[in-house]
Chain A
Amino acid sequence: MGATKTTVVTSPTLSPTGLRFENIDKRFGGLYALRRVSLEIAPGECVVLAGRNGSGKTTLLRVAARIVRPTAGKLSFPGASSESAGSGRPGYVAHTTMVYDELSAEENLVLFARLQGVPQPAARAEELLREVGLYERRASLVRTFSRGMRQRIAIARALVHRPSVLLFDEPATGLDPLGISWLAKSLSEVNCGGCTVVMSLHGESEISALATRAVQLDAGSVVADTNSGASLHSILTFGGA
């Protein structure tokens, strides 16, 4: 199992990249999902987004991943050497796996590695499969995987191009305690390697313990932003209530 062994899963030569949201609005029809969100996330920070269901966490992460275009405002990646370079693209884990059920775990990772110009995609896929503890099941179709295994392959897909920014939307979903420990260790390693991590979480866990800053959203607006221990604990404990 990958939980027993962790290695650095991002490039050691990562160019530190931050995130800057400037007055971001996102409207779906008449409904504001985000309202004038301004945030500056420094390179190498580990930020937790907290808030109730529907507060805008997922939309903010999707805007950051450039999957959703903001209605107004500007998103930039300070420090990114080139936006088109592989590691300049954020790695994103969503509620869904974002991989193909009809392909095997290995085929999925090789596909996304090739698309992002990762050198030696097969070797990278093998490295990640060992990392996430799915090497033995590499030839199995993803549709045969359990929820936790699907989450592991989703995380591996997000890491395949050694991103300098990681965006995780409730990454612990479906993982067993061993899996959560593995994810916490892996995130800690990539964060220490200079990778900026932004994740949405509910409640405190081994993963939230990595956070150096917590941002609370409510009705699409930032209502709290702290990096002090007690406030951070308070947001993580009660922010998602």
Chain B
Amino acid sequence: MSLLSNTATLLGKELRTEFRSRELLTTTVVFILVVLILFSFAISPTTEESREFGPGLLWLAILFAASLMLQPCFLREQSNDTLSSLRLAVDDPFAIFLAKLIANTLFLLLTEVLMLPLFAVFYNIAILPKLHYLLLVLFLGSFGISVAGTALSAISAQARMRELLLPLLLLPLLTPILVVSATVSVSLLDREPIVQWQGIAFLAIFDLVFLTALWLFGEYLLEE
């Protein structure tokens, strides 16, 4: 009960501070938009090429944008040592992670939902036929990126060269999720769409494994 109520309170704080400053959302939306537009001009894709390359580019843009978004996640708790006050205040430090994880996933999903129509237009891809499955893949992929990214953000925030450390740790770790998400998305956006349940199951298992690891070892990541 305490975990859930503390998570809800902290999530409210995360959403309030972000919607007040709009630092993360603006950066992420602009980044994904620029990448999608640049690539659409650079490769001038036909519909067939778009189906093949588009989802990969979309996931690559999401991954890089996520690494930008995740960087300040714990870093901005450092300036006033608010992480210490949170650790003093909550019974279970997992609430701190859970709130940040949910907030990061929500921000990432919001960005993706805003970008999807533009992606469909720029890459001339019909996303509506399998939209519900595409949204499921986006959710599982974004959640996986957020779980791993939130944990690594906590580690990198306390290290020297913290700006470099997060992408260095994050990108190799998220390669499997990037490959699977892109592959499943390609199948969904194909002329004859197929739902790759194995890929979706892999994403769900990846999310579950990292969430469990965060729950078990998260406390140690917050120690000085």
Contacts and interface: CB of A to CB of B under 8 A. Distances in A.
Interface of A: 62, 65-69, 84, 89-90, 92, 94, 96-103, 107, 111-112, 114-117, 157, 161
A40 to B, nearest CB: 23
Given A103-B13, A103-B17, A112 B89 contact: yes
Contact of B88 (A90, A96, A117): A90
Interface string B213-224: 000000000011
Nearest to A100: B82
Given A98-B82, A98-B84, 18 more contacts: A67-B224, A84-B91, A89-B89, A90-B88, A92-B88, A94-B84, A96-B79, A96-B80, A100-B80, A101-B80, A102-B17, A102-B21, A103-B17, A112-B85, A115-B6, A115-B86, A117-B2, A161-B89
A157 B88 CA distance: 11
A100 B17 CA distance: 9
A90 B2 CA distance: 19
A90 B84 CA distance: 12
Interface of chain A, main secondary structure: loop
Contacts of A97: 80
Contacts of A96: 79-81
B89 A115 contact: yes
B9 A115 contact: yes
Nearest to A28: B224
B147 interface: no
Nearest to B10: A115
Given A69-B223, A94-B81, A102 B20 contact: yes
B9 A114 contact: yes
Nearest to B13: A111
Nearest to B77: A100
B16 interface: yes
Given A94-B81, A103-B16, A103-B17, A67 B9 contact: no
